[in-house]
Amino acid sequence: MDFGLGSKTPGTCVKVIQYSPGDAYLVLYLLESGIYLFIVYWQGFELTVAAGVWNEENNNVKVDGVGATLY
């Protein structure tokens, strides 16, 4: 998924996907320490979280961690 990270990778990236009913929110937190948190929230349909470590390789962000869909 393209979050349009640009040249400065660490930070907070948000993508909103419009659905009917409601919107889905995808949030990716990339900390300079190499830790990430990824959250997907679509009210009434999905709540997913994943966390772990990340690095940048060939202009791509690679993540390694664990996650779970809570509903």
Contact criterion met (CB below 8 Å) for 61 and 39: no
Q: What is the dihedral of CA 16, 18, 19, 24, to 10 degrees?
A: 10
* CA distances (Å), origin 55, targets 10, 36, 68: 10, 10, 21
Position 67 scores a pLDDT of 97
DSSP state of 32: T
17-37 tens-digit pLDDT: 888 888 999 999 999 899 999
> What is the pTM (predicted TM-score) of this model?
0.79
Q: Please give the pLDDT value at position 3.
A: 57
CA-based radius of gyration for the chain: 13
3-state secondary structure of 56: strand
